Amino acid sequence: MGQLRTRKRGATWEYSFEGAKIGGKRKPISKGGYRTKADALTAGTKAKAEYETSGRTFTPSTISLADYLDYWLENHVKKNLGHNTYLDYESKTRNHIKPALGKYRLSAIEPDIVQNWIDNVKLKGFSVSMVRNLLACLSGALEYAVIPMKFIKYNPCSYVKLGRLKESPELKIKREYICSADDWEKIMSRFPEGSSFYLPLLTSYHLGTRIGETYGLDLLTDFDFGARTCSINQQVQKEDRVWYQRPPKYESYRTVDMGSTIQKAIRKEYIKRKETMLFYGPYYLKTYVRPDGSIVQFPASETVPYREIMPLSVKENGQLLTPESFKYCARVIHNELGLVLFHSHSLRHTHGTLLAENGASPKTVMERLGHKDISTTMNRYVFNTEKMRSDAVRIFEEVTG
């Protein structure tokens, strides 16, 4: 490329340098209007550097891993993968990868550094899936640095060995907790019909929805009482203190059949909600979704240009309830009912396991829970319960007896 030049044009200064030839002809690049020669020289130096690196603002051999991860998230993950995936990877890089490895240069990351990091991660008591996912996140970022970017020659994660992953007994017991019939009766007695948590609990138990999907259900559009189905079209997520409607995890859009119990409860809630809106009149808080997916509320007296929704769970005056609200419910179940193993996902675990125990095919359970593959269903949600073990013995005896 040609040298950077400056010249005065009237009362201002201009920079120029020679760009690549187009059609065999030289293409000068210039810009004027700068007050002083120094201003033009500074701007020209920056413009020439960006031009010669095709707009890239860093040198691959000197960029830190932390800065490269930001580049990867913004230029690949955000543009090519789902929004939920972006949030997941951003959280993993910010909370776990950058604090440990971010200070190193991208070009200096070798297998031994990654191996030492993942070995330390294993000692922190994370779940088996969390350890695997952290390594997969870093590996995906570094693979992109190899192909197509060619910032580094190989992916150091390819040489890392996870070894044997041990899950603490306490964590395994909590993860595999299944809500028994007695436990469920206690929970329903504490949060009966009319409670703010009655419908979210019932929905998760009867439909196997994730907590974000449960609170993302819209009474106006997601329930078909004629077909007796519920459509999972979105979940709610909190981003920078604002709640948004986002696609379900793994974009697992699905329609599931409803039994009579949940269908009657949803229909009853819809009728009650309409009556409550009439009672509060202009003071009732209605809920809307902006084009960017953010959820907002306004009094019924106001005219709002956004799409109205009717969330599954709200306070009597219409005030929005969210997965954060459910934390109170979980604390009560822990402290008052003594069910310390309960967590929001346990009702989803219970739903899938009850189906499997009573003969539902793995594929049916997978589709109902919205998993991306059958291994997730079998390994994480359909546990080998006492009933399953007893049934296996009974079936074998019947076949061989």
List helix spans (H) across 209-338.
211-216, 260-280, 326-335
pLDDT of residue 1: 52
pLDDT of residue 322: 96
Q: Mean pLDDT in the chain?
A: 88
Q: What are 313-337's pLDDT values in tens digits?
A: 999 999 999 999 999 999 999 999 9
| Token digits of residue 52 | 């010669």
List CB contacts of 137: < 8 A, sequence separation 6 or more: 88, 89, 92, 93, 97
Q: Domains (ranges, CATH) in the chain?
A: 5-52 (no CATH), 65-167 (1.10.150.130), 193-320 (no CATH)
Give the sign of the dihedral formed by CA 82, CA 83, CA 88, CA 90.
positive
Cβ atoms 93, 141 nearer than 8 A: yes
Q: How far is CA 149 from CA 85, 137, 207, in A?
A: 21, 17, 44
Whether the predicted pLDDT of 355 surpasses 60: yes
Q: What are 111-153's pLDDT values in tens digits?
A: 999 999 999 988 887 878 888 899 999 999 999 999 988 889 8
Count the Cβ atoms, other than its own, within 10 Å of residue 148: 8
- Mean pLDDT, to the nearest integer, of 166-174? 71
Cβ atoms 146, 156 nearer than 8 A: no
Q: Which amino acid is at 76?
A: H
Whether the predicted pLDDT of 381 surpasses 70: no
Among 34, 32, 33, 5, residue whose Cα is nearest residue 17: 5
Whether the predicted pLDDT of 81 surpasses 60: yes
Secondary structure class of 195 (helix, strand, coil): coil
Give the bridge partners for 5, in sequence order: 16
**DSSP code for 228:** T
Burial of 102 (0-12, 13-18, 19+ CB in 10 A): middle
Q: What are 218-253's pLDDT values in tens digits?
A: 999 999 999 999 999 999 999 888 999 999 988 889
Instruction: Give 131-140's long-range contacts (Cβ < 8 A, gap of 24+).
Output: 131/162, 131/165, 132/162, 132/165, 133/92, 134/92, 134/96, 134/97, 135/160, 135/162, 137/88, 137/89, 137/92, 137/93, 137/97, 138/97, 138/101, 138/114, 140/89
> How far is it, in rounded angstroms, from Cα 197 to Cα 192?
8
Q: Which amino acid is at 395?
A: I
